Amino acid sequence: MRKVLAALPRFEEMGPSHAGLAHERYAPQKDDESKDENSSPWRGWLSWMDGAREPEHYGVAYRRWRGALTQWHTASVEMRATGRLLAGHGNASPTGVGLTLHHTWGVPVIPGSSLKGVLAAYLRASFEPAEVAEACRRLFGVPGDERLGQKASVGQVLFHDAPWVSSRGKEGAGPRMLARDVLTVHQRGWYGKAESWPNDYESPNPVAFLSVRPGGRFLVALSVAPGADDETLRLLRWAADRLCEALRDWGVGGKTAAGYGRLEPEGSVVINPPRAVSRPSPERDAFKAWGEEQRAAKTEQRKVLEDFDAQWRPKLMPLSREARMECAQALRVLVRSPKLQERREELLRLLVDGA
């Protein structure tokens, strides 16, 4: 298989087709100590990985994801990595330092569980426990405890994986995602066998690995289910703002003590009300079609309103609330005369809130 793959056309500047697969399954034998940059397959592989770019069609999946988020109450913000980012460095990897990439698309991603953990640690460190106890209970949930008579509850906020923000143009391949990185062990003897105290006479031992290039952008999003009350939405915004602070000041992922993983928000946190999916409803569609006909025929608005009251309102009453709201909006667009406004709203109140 390795020989077969070696025969694949490799465009150094284009990088691998799936960075995650190439990272996990296609690394040659490691030789960080080789002096010759050109003849070492390991070095060649590193610079190939360094060229990894966003794959074709990822933009379609990214736009679909953004669309999906709008169906719930979602607080979202795009964040830009100000320095390098290294998530999942504990995972098994041929470089010895792991890296979390999207399983299917191979683009960098910050796991939702990391974001949740960072926020929990940040709140614990920045506030008095009593001050945020209730917020933490609602954000993260609590395990039940029979002895204390405490009921278990689930966290109300969903921490989504923060995916790479698509920036691939029509013909361009987009920016590079990963960068070669190095950490240098200075006292190998001490970390290894520990027969003597660490000293300055050992040769430094560089270890090459890969991390996410500075400037990479991620879509950080938190959601709560539709139907949430104002109180929960305030909690959502509060959590999103604190998470932004935590990511800016503390960072996420590994090696944060060395300055890795800091993210700067681009713009402020946006919370959109959920956008309901239009459900199929023949009566609603028939009503809308009727409305269009009246508009085309320039029927007098007073007559439209009378017809609506006599013919349509009884037919529309059994529909679901969402469908009735849609019909109400259609009628508002149709009947605009200020004189009729009062009558129109009275009828719509009957339609939407029930008689």
Partner 1 sequence: MESRAYLLQALSPLHVGTGQSVGVIDLPLMRMRSTGIPIIPGSSLKGVLRDASASDTVRTDAVFGPRRAKNGPEGDEPSEYAGALVVGDARLLALPVRSFVGTFALVTSPLLLTLARRDWGGRQGGGEAPPPVPSLKKHRARVASLKSCVCLHEQAGGARVYLEDLDLEVDAEDDAVLGAWAEALQRALPGDERELLARRLVLVDDETMSFLWETAMQVDTRVSIDPDTGTAAKGQLWTEESLPAETLLMGVMAASASWSPKQAMAASAVLDAALGGQGTMLQLGGKATVGRGWCRLLSWTTGDAEARR
- The minimum distance between CB 354 and partner 1, in angstroms, equals 12
Q: Is 276 in the site for partner 1 (CB under 8 A)?
A: yes
255 binding partner 1? (CB under 8 A): no
Under the criterion CB under 8 A, does residue 104 sit at the interface with partner 1? yes
189 interacts with partner 1 by CB under 8 A: no
Side-by-side strand order, sheet with 158-159: 158-159, 217-224, 73-81, 263-272
**Residue number with CB closer to partner 1 (140 or 335):** 140
- How far, in Å, are 31, 32, 345 from residue 280 at the CA level? 61, 61, 25
The DSSP symbol for 62 reads H
Instruction: Give the pair of three-digit tokens for residue 22.
Output: 């190439």
CA atoms within 13 A on the CB side of 30: 11
Interaction between residue 336 and partner 1 (CB under 8 A): no
Q: Which stretch binds partner 1 (CB under 8 A): 50-58, 186-194, 205-213, 298-306?
A: 50-58
Tokens of 63: 């736009």
Shortest Cβ 179–partner 1 spacing (Å):
20
For the bound state, the minimum distance from the C-beta of residue 199 to partner 1, rounded and expressed in Å, comes to 29
Task: Confirm or reject binding of residue 244 to partner 1 (CB under 8 A).
Answer: no
Tell whether residue 159 is a contact of partner 1 (CB under 8 A): yes
Contacts of partner 1 in 209-228 (CB under 8 A): 225, 227
- Contact between 56 and partner 1 by CB under 8 A: the answer reads yes
Task: Give 230 or 342: the residue with its C-beta nearer to partner 1.
Answer: 230
147 DSSP 8-state letter: T
The answer to whether 16 contacts partner 1 (rule: CB under 8 A) is yes
- Of residues 6, 90, 191, 300, which one binds partner 1 by CB under 8 A? 90
Identity of the residue, 90 or 206, whose beta carbon is nearer to partner 1 in the bound complex: 90
State yes or no: residue 160 binds partner 1 (CB under 8 A). yes
With contacts defined by CB under 8 A, how many residues of the chain interact with partner 1? 59
The answer for residues whose C-beta is within 8 angstroms of residue 227's C-beta and 6 or more apart is: none
Span from 31-39, 53-61, 143-151, 333-341 in contact with partner 1 (CB under 8 A): 53-61
DSSP calls for 193-260: T--S---S-SPPEEEEEEEEPTT-EEEEEEEE-TT--HHHHHHHHHHHHHHHHHHHHT-SSS-GGGTT
Beta bridge partners of 74: 223, 272
Quick one: 166 or 305, whose CB is closer to partner 1? 166
> Which range binds partner 1 by CB under 8 A, 1-9, 42-50, 175-183, 309-317?
1-9
Q: Phi and psi dihedrals of 224, rounded to 5?
A: -125, 155
Decide: 49 and 14 in contact? Cβ < 8 Å: no
17 near partner 1, judged by CB under 8 A: yes
Q: Decide if 105 contacts 55 (C-beta within 8 A).
A: yes
Backbone angles phi, psi at 232, to 5 degrees: -65, -35
| CB 33, CB 188: distance < 8 Å | no
- Using the rule CB under 8 A, which residue among 280, 339, 342, 354 binds partner 1? 280
Q: CB–CB of 105/58 below 8 Å?
A: yes
Nearest to 127 by CA among 46, 220, 238: 238
Q: Does 320 bind partner 1 (CB under 8 A)?
A: yes
The reply on whether position 112 binds partner 1 by CB under 8 A is yes
Q: Rule CB under 8 A: which of 115-144 touch partner 1?
A: 116-117, 121, 124, 140-141
3-state secondary structure of 269: strand
Q: Which residues bind partner 1 (CB under 8 A)?
A: 1, 4-5, 7-8, 16-18, 20-22, 25-26, 55-58, 60-61, 63-65, 68, 71-72, 90-91, 102-106, 111-113, 116-117, 121, 124, 140-141, 154-155, 157-161, 225, 227, 276-281, 320-322
